[in-house]
Amino acid sequence: MSNDLFDLSNDVAVVIGGTGTLGGAMADALAAAGAKVAVLGRSEERGAARVRQIEEAGGTAMFHTADALDAASLTAARDAVNEKLGPVSVLVSAAGGNRPEATLPPGSDFCKLPKEAWNDVFDLNLVGGSLLPSQVFGETMLAEGCGSVINIASMAGMIPLSRVVAYSAAKAAVLNLTQFLAREWATKGVRVNAISPGFFPAEQNKALLFNEDGSYTERGGQIIGHTPMARFGKPEELAGAVVWLASRKASSFVTGQNIVVDGGFVSTTI
């Protein structure tokens, strides 16, 4: 087996949402494998910090502001990356998240869920988390005849988690769109896959999982109880999946797949 199976030194990777915890870890992993990495997001401060971290580790990176829900913003970022680093061959769509107003408290009435809250979460995770990035950066990949699109979905898209109904439905749609694009682009040199992380503590969900004293909340304890590995994931544990799917040598015959990284959580529910 060739020892350069996971060498990405000929690739330019864009990580949308690379300013976040999970997106940032995947940006680090791609850079460590040799890819030139463009971190895209709305926070210039966090983006610049991620670029410094990559460069200090010996990698090549740049930051460009981008709004995943704005096609013009994504197009401007794509053109800037193309000019500075070259044509994009790897896209990681890691933008997404939930909104408190779209979360159903225990015992609440689903029929009262505000349509506006649903729309916000659905658009953020499907339109910004897959649709627009795939259209904008996929255009370049199709022109080059080579590329790997990696959508960050969620195991919530496979099983309807309680309370986060809009988020779960949106991530299910991301998985469906991933399969659609994989079929459409299979003969055009562009592979499309998804990674579905399980529970990874980050700024957005920390209060949901932990009490102020560091102990598990009731929900955090329930999650651990349903996770065979009996712990939460660490962001760096997504590195192997993202580098494998990015590598045109290691995963050349892999498209339309959903790689679940969840410590076995889904295996206890399906």
Q: Which two tokens stand for residue 194?
A: 């998804």
The mean pLDDT of 171-176, rounded to a whole number, is: 97
pTM for this prediction: 0.94
Q: Where are the domains of the chain?
A: 12-268
- The mean pLDDT value for 185-201 works out to 96
Model pLDDT for residues 8-33, shown as the tens digit of each residue: 999 999 999 999 999 999 999 999 99
pLDDT score of 2 more than 90:
no
- How many angstroms separate the CA atoms of 151 and 129, rounded? 7
Tokens representing 66 are 């981008």
In three-state form (DSSP H/G/I as H, E/B as E, the rest C), the secondary structure along the chain is CCCCCCCCCCCEEEEECCCCHHHHHHHHHHHHCCCEEEEEECCHHHHHHHHHHHHHCCCEEEEEECCCCCHHHHHHHHHHHHHHCCCCCEEEECCCCCCHHHCCCCCCCHHHCCHHHHHHHHHHHHHHHHHHHHHHHHHHHHHHCCEEEEEECCHHHCCCCCCCHHHHHHHHHHHHHHHHHHHHHHHHCEEEEEEEECCCCCCCCHHHHECCCCCECHHHHHHHHCCCCCCCCCHHHHHHHHHHHHCCCCCCCCCCCEEEECCCCHHHCC
Q: Rounded to an integer, what distance in angstroms lies between the CA atom of residue 156 and that of residue 29? A: 24
What's the confidence (pLDDT) of residue 1? 42
The whole-chain average pLDDT of the chain stands at: 94
Span 60-99, pLDDT tens digits = 999 999 999 999 999 999 999 999 999 999 999 999 988 8
Q: What is the mean pLDDT of residues 176-201?
A: 97
pLDDT at 100 > cutoff 90: no
Cβ 137 vs Cβ 151: under 8 Å: no
Active site residues: 167
pLDDT of residue 268: 86
Q: Is the pLDDT of residue 36 over 70?
A: yes
Q: Summarize pLDDT for 245-256 with one digit per residue, the tens.
A: 999 999 999 999
The per-residue pLDDT for range 110-160, each reduced to its tens digit, is 988 889 999 999 999 999 999 999 999 999 999 999 999 999 999 989 988
Q: What is the pLDDT of residue 270?
A: 61
Topology of the domain comprising 12-268: Rossmann fold (3.40.50)
Per-residue tokens: 186: 């299979």
What is the share, in percent, of the chain residues with pLDDT greater than 90? Answer: 81
Say what the pLDDT of residue 206 is.
82
Asked if residue 183 has pLDDT above 80, the reply is: yes
Q: In Å, what is the CA distance from 75 to each residue of 40, 64, 92, 106?
A: 12, 11, 15, 41
36-41: strand order across its sheet: 60-65, 36-41, 12-16, 90-93, 147-152, 190-197, 258-261
pLDDT at 113: 84
